[in-house]
Amino acid sequence: MNYSAELKKFVTSQYVYSAIRITLATVLPCLVLAHFGILKEYFLFPLGTSFVALCDQPGPFIRRRNALTFAIFCFVLVALIASLVMHVKVLVIFEIIIFGMFFSLIGVYGQRLAAVGSLSLVVMAIFIDGHLTGANIFKSLLIFASGCAWFLLIFLIVTTIQPYKLASQMIGENYLQLAEFLKIKANYYQKNPDFDKLTTQVIAKQIGIKNLQEETRETVFKTRTIVNESTTTSRLLMLMFLNSMDLHEKLMTSESDYQKLQQSFEDSMILVNIHDYLNLLAEEITNIGISLQIGARAKPLFNLDFEYKNLNTHYFELRNKQLSPDNLENFMILRQILIRISEITKEISEIYKVFSQNVKLAKSLSTGLDLKKFMPNEEKLNFKVLRNNISLSSSHFRHALRITIALLIGYLFSIFEFFVIGHAYWILITIVAILKPAYSITKQRNLLRLYGTIVGASTAYAILHFIHINAVLFTILLLSMIMCFSFLKGRYFWAVSFMTIYVFLSFNFLSPGKIDIIFKDRILDTVVAGIIAFLVSYIVLPVWGHTQNLDLMKKSAESNLIYFQSVISKFLEGDFDLEDYKVKRKNAIISLANLSDNFQRMISEPKNQQKKLEVVHQFVATSHLITAYTASLSQYSKNNEEYPEIDAESWSRKIEAEMQKVTALLNGDKINETLKMESLIEPEDSSIEDLILKRKTEIEENDVVKPIDPDKISHLTELKNIHDVLELIYDVAKEQRKVIEKYKSESETTEAVKAIPLQ
């Protein structure tokens, strides 16, 4: 592992940058207040600042600003109502019900408002017993509101000074994810790879890339300074993001029959050479990502032309020694892989040219795309959307009910005096943090929260026991805050650990000498909240992954069919609509990632809810292969070459018929005779076999000629690869159809067993 690169990736990321901004915005007022000796009295100021800061989700400036403004309004309103009704238990219960339902339901409008809703419930928990407001409620609320507004002011100043910073960091992160994806793909070429493990890793990484691309797409395409302005920076950022999506596709096109490759070339070092070269490319992509995050120009780490020439040399040496009529087709597959690698290399070189800050290139840049078509789907802010989700069939409504019930249980549990709970609001805060719409995420967060709290509390206890110098403690507090906010999105265990440390240190500064009480309360409250969250998520209207599989499978099958049709159209009509193709490519990748994501959640669910897990896994794997093979085929749709030897019409009818069978089975329809007949069509590609036979005869007669240009590929090799890719798509689609037949037959058997009356 390159530890230097890993450290740079972390330090230059949007998460650390955001964490430092939040920490400074929170801590600087604390220093001023502490200087005047009024920090304890005005503690609500930095508290309000930190709450609003956590609502600042990545996205376009206007949406971030509006969300922060809405958050301030919600926080102050919730704090006001909670402070006014805190002595009337019945009203507090009504407050929990109304706020619990409303602030959980607004998650239907997207992650940004879901974050505002969750933190509004945290504010309610903080103010529910009045321990922070004191006697003068309105003065406390004014201090709290001022702290909230302070972060909004900081946000406006920072985004005005650095309007492109977030977009640049997010685009950089896209490249870093692609580098990790390429490293996984490279491992297929190492000695004795674990194919099942690598396939799982590829699918998991696809989910992460899809989610990040969706966030970045919103940020880039809806930021006016990037879309509308004609500055060099804005145009180059747009180009870099579009290039990252094209690079993603090129990485997907390297899909091949790896087991066959390993068997064919196990005695040579060529596959290991490919593995090493792909890792070099991954390092270059990492370098690009880090440079984007920093906002600096990137320079190549290696001489890629020289390295690729060496790789080609190894290939041609092996080819000249071992090429025979028997292994000709294996060498053709390997040659095609090298050409794909060459295209990735050229793409990376082009990206480095962009980094040269060529002003002429920037000014001439025009995507020619309707960017609205590439925007992620999201619900519009209107009451109808909210109203339509007030139903038990809505997963959002079910989640709102679970949150509300869990908060009610937590509140009732905390007011019983014989439980001796010192910081009751910690139970409610922990419930909000742990309880998520999916059971699997709740289960995972529950354990991470518990382990993180224990580790953080133990560490903080040791720090406060052995260190008594305030300057050192304050430095540790600052670092803990930065680390907490940096890890909050991706590494929850570490985020909770550092959060617990800075919470302990904060309480120690405010009320020294109470570390034993805080330690006991923090652990106890976390355990109680964890038990409540776990039981509620398991018992109260859970939404299991298997209930969503069918819809997601339908969507993935449909998207893959449409994606294939857009690619094969070039072979059929000679036409290729690049914009239409890119939209359909995006939809296919998103549908695949959503299905894969749901499958990953199923794995963490109780065994009795992992229904047809193996079948779903097979469907996910075949969907991934169809998407990847279609991406491979698309590379031939984009060039100006003609391939009359390919019977495109027959292949199109044959493959589409098999894919339509899958869709029909998923929809519960019968497969008609037309589809059955079309899926049995035999394409007339015999001319390709004749050409291969001719080439084998030439080889037998010792007529092996080394190509003059290693960057060129023979027309025969291209034909062979197109034929093989089409055959692979058909075989995988056929396998997927068998998987669905098994899926449906198991469902019918289960239903039949249930229908048998008990004797």
- 148 and 140 Cβ atoms separated by less than 8 Å: no
Total Cβ atoms within 10 A of residue 88: 11
- 165 and 61 Cβ atoms separated by less than 8 Å: no
The rounded distance, in Å, linking the Cα atoms of 189 and 261 is 9
The rounded distance, in Å, linking the Cα atoms of 733 and 633 is 15
Closest Cα partner for 123 from 55, 23, 64, 39? 55
Closest Cα partner for 585 from 542, 633, 543? 633
Mean pLDDT of the chain: 85
pLDDT in tens, 489-529: 888 999 999 999 988 888 888 777 678 878 888 888 889 89
The rounded distance, in Å, linking the Cα atoms of 267 and 254 is 22
Closest Cα partner for 247 from 339, 351, 168, 173? 351
- 404 and 97 Cβ atoms separated by less than 8 Å: yes
H helices present in 638-707, as ranges: 648-666, 673-678, 686-700
* DSSP calls for 433-465: HH--SSHHHHHHHHHHHHHHHHHHHHHHHHHHH
Contacts of 508 (CB under 8 A, 6+ apart): 464, 473, 514, 515
Q: What is the pLDDT of residue 229?
A: 57
Q: What is the pLDDT of residue 71?
A: 95
Averaged pLDDT for residues 140-162: 94
Q: Given pLDDT bands bounded at 50, 70 and 90, which one contains residue 119?
A: very high
Place of tokens 């599989």: 549
User: Where is mean pLDDT largest: 205-209, 376-380, 559-563, 584-588?
Assistant: 559-563
Closest Cα partner for 541 from 754, 744, 443, 397? 397
Q: Given pLDDT bands bounded at 50, 70 and 90, which one contains residue 746?
A: low
Reply yes or no on whether the pLDDT at 438 is more than 80. yes
Reply yes or no on whether the pLDDT at 759 is more than 50. no
Reply yes or no on whether the pLDDT at 754 is more than 80. no
Q: Which of 174-178, 363-367, 464-468 has the lowest mean pLDDT?
A: 363-367
Place of tokens 């339901």: 105
Q: What is the pLDDT of residue 659?
A: 93
Place of tokens 């499978």: 553
Q: Given pLDDT bands bounded at 50, 70 and 90, which one contains residue 226?
A: low
- In eight-state DSSP terms, residue 639 is S
- In eight-state DSSP terms, residue 2 is -
382-410 per-residue burial string, b: 16 or more CB within 10 A, e: under 16 = eeeebeebeeeeebbbbbbbbbbbbbbbb
Query: Which one is predicted more confidently, 140 or 386?
Result: 140
Total Cβ atoms within 10 A of residue 375: 12
Q: Name the 3-class secondary structure at 10.
A: helix
Place of tokens 């409008």: 109
Return the percentage of the chain with pLDDT > 90, whole number: 34
Averaged pLDDT for residues 218-233: 69
Radius of gyration of the chain (CA): 29
The rounded distance, in Å, linking the Cα atoms of 336 and 25 is 54
* DSSP calls for 139-178: HHHHHHHHHHHHHHHHHHHHHHH-TTHHHHHHHHHHHHHH
Total Cβ atoms within 10 A of residue 266: 10
Q: What is the pLDDT of residue 272?
A: 92
Q: What is the pLDDT of residue 376?
A: 56
* Residue 406 vs residues 409, 422, 505, 540, 604: alpha-carbon distances, Å: 5, 19, 29, 9, 21
Reply yes or no on whether the pLDDT at 303 is more than 70. yes
Task: Return the structure tokens found at 609.
Answer: 């809810």
Q: Given pLDDT bands bounded at 50, 70 and 90, which one contains residue 758?
A: very low
Reply yes or no on whether the pLDDT at 345 is more than 70. yes
Q: Given pLDDT bands bounded at 50, 70 and 90, which one contains residue 225?
A: low
The rounded distance, in Å, linking the Cα atoms of 630 and 249 is 10
Task: Return the structure tokens found at 747.
Answer: 């469902």
Q: What is the pLDDT of residue 460?
A: 93
Query: Which one is predicted more confidently, 753 or 231?
Result: 231
- 158 and 68 Cβ atoms separated by less than 8 Å: no
Averaged pLDDT for residues 727-747: 85
Q: Which of 278-287, 477-486, 535-544, 579-588 has the lowest mean pLDDT?
A: 579-588
- 423 and 457 Cβ atoms separated by less than 8 Å: no
Averaged pLDDT for residues 248-260: 77
* Residue 660 vs residues 139, 291, 704: alpha-carbon distances, Å: 66, 45, 44
The rounded distance, in Å, linking the Cα atoms of 10 and 16 is 7
Reply yes or no on whether the pLDDT at 24 is more than 90. yes
Q: What is the pLDDT of residue 751?
A: 54
Query: Which one is predicted more confidently, 730 or 246?
Result: 730
Reply yes or no on whether the pLDDT at 358 is more than 80. no
User: Where is mean pLDDT largest: 191-205, 378-392, 417-431?
Assistant: 191-205
**H helices, E strands: number in the chain:** 30, 0
* Residue 244 vs residues 234, 412, 443, 493, 624: alpha-carbon distances, Å: 16, 51, 34, 31, 20
- 114 and 16 Cβ atoms separated by less than 8 Å: no
Q: Given pLDDT bands bounded at 50, 70 and 90, which one contains residue 156?
A: very high
- 104 and 396 Cβ atoms separated by less than 8 Å: yes
Q: What is the pLDDT of residue 91?
A: 93
Q: Which of 582-586, 601-605, 696-700, 717-721 has the lowest mean pLDDT?
A: 696-700
User: Where is mean pLDDT largest: 179-193, 385-399, 629-643?
Assistant: 179-193
602-618 per-residue burial string, b: 16 or more CB within 10 A, e: under 16 = beebeeebbbbbebbbb
Reply yes or no on whether the pLDDT at 120 is more than 90. yes
pLDDT in tens, 28-86: 999 898 888 888 888 899 999 999 999 998 888 888 999 999 999 999 999 999 999 98
- 176 and 9 Cβ atoms separated by less than 8 Å: yes
Name the region of 298 (left: φ>0; alpha: ψ -120 to 50; beta: rest).
Answer: beta
The number of angstroms, rounded, from the C-alpha of 559 to the middle of its chain's C-alpha atoms is 19
Averaged pLDDT for residues 133-146: 87
The rounded distance, in Å, linking the Cα atoms of 276 and 308 is 11
pLDDT in tens, 522-561: 888 889 899 999 999 989 988 888 888 889 999 999 999 9
